[in-house]
Amino acid sequence: FFNPFRLISPKLDREASRLEELYEAPHPEMTCLEEGLLVMLSKLMDMTTLAYKSLIIADPEKMKKVDALGQDIHHEEKQLTGDLVCSPATTGDVLKALVIFPGHLERVGDYVESIINCARIKSRDSIPFSDKAHAELTELFGVLSDILKNIREVVAKSTWDTLAPVRENQKKLAQLTVDFALAHEDRLLEGLCSPKASSLYLDILDSVKGANEHLVRMVDSLMKLHKASVAA
């Protein structure tokens, strides 16, 4: 199966030190799409973990780290998208499927930045979440983190057989956002949740839902590319 992630340049130094160097660099130069996506996904995984921790216990340093990683994501999206558009290797269906991948990941980062803004408001205004809400957040962010990790594994190892399980996890996360919104509505009606907490919690659910939708589009595109390559 043709590895679509080698676009821009077919060369990639897979050594951990190379990827770590790119992760730490403020404006890294990516040699191929694979490298860029791996770095972006790693940063999104860290942003997601830090955002979850900041919702549970406010930590200004963690929030600043999320801001910095988010800025990196914005820069890397512009670089990778520009390189893809200018690459002679990107044509036809492959270009159509992959040129928006960096943009999808940037949008995931936008949603995580929205979550960290909720964490700031929650801390600033001393808005409590119920134990049930915290338990729901733990489950939500656990599934989201697994999805990001699994997509990163697909990119790193071209393990196409894992795409279907990732898609099932995405369906699970989509259903959780619906179920938790309904459960939250019940808590609000029963007086177990304050209106201030309600708006923040629903904002977080919407952000997780939005992030998941962009990751779904990526996985669906990969599954179509894989199916086409097998049929060829």
| pLDDT, tens digit (0-9, with 9 covering 90-100), for 1-36 | 456 555 555 455 455 456 666 667 666 666 667 788
Write out pLDDT tens, residues 153-203: 888 887 777 888 999 999 999 999 999 999 999 998 888 888 889 999 999
Task: Quote the pTM value.
Answer: 0.88
What the block records as the tokens of 13 is 């130094």
CB burial of 136-162 (b: ≥16 within 10 Å; e: otherwise) equals: bbeebbebbbbbbebbbebbbebebee
pLDDT at 158: 74
Query: What distance in Å separates the CA atoms of residue 107 and residue 91, rounded to the nearest whole number?
Result: 24
pLDDT at 82: 83
Q: How far is CA 65 from CA 72, 78, 83, 205, 223, in A?
A: 11, 21, 27, 22, 33
What the block records as the tokens of 136 is 């729901």
Q: Under the phi-then-psi rule, with left for phi > 0, alpha for psi from -120 to 50, and beta for the rest, what region is 158?
A: left
**Average model confidence (pLDDT) across the chain:** 86
Mean pLDDT of 55-71: 96
CB burial of 80-117 (b: ≥16 within 10 Å; e: otherwise) equals: bbebbeebeebeeebbebbbbbbebbbbbbbbbbbbbb
pLDDT at 25: 65
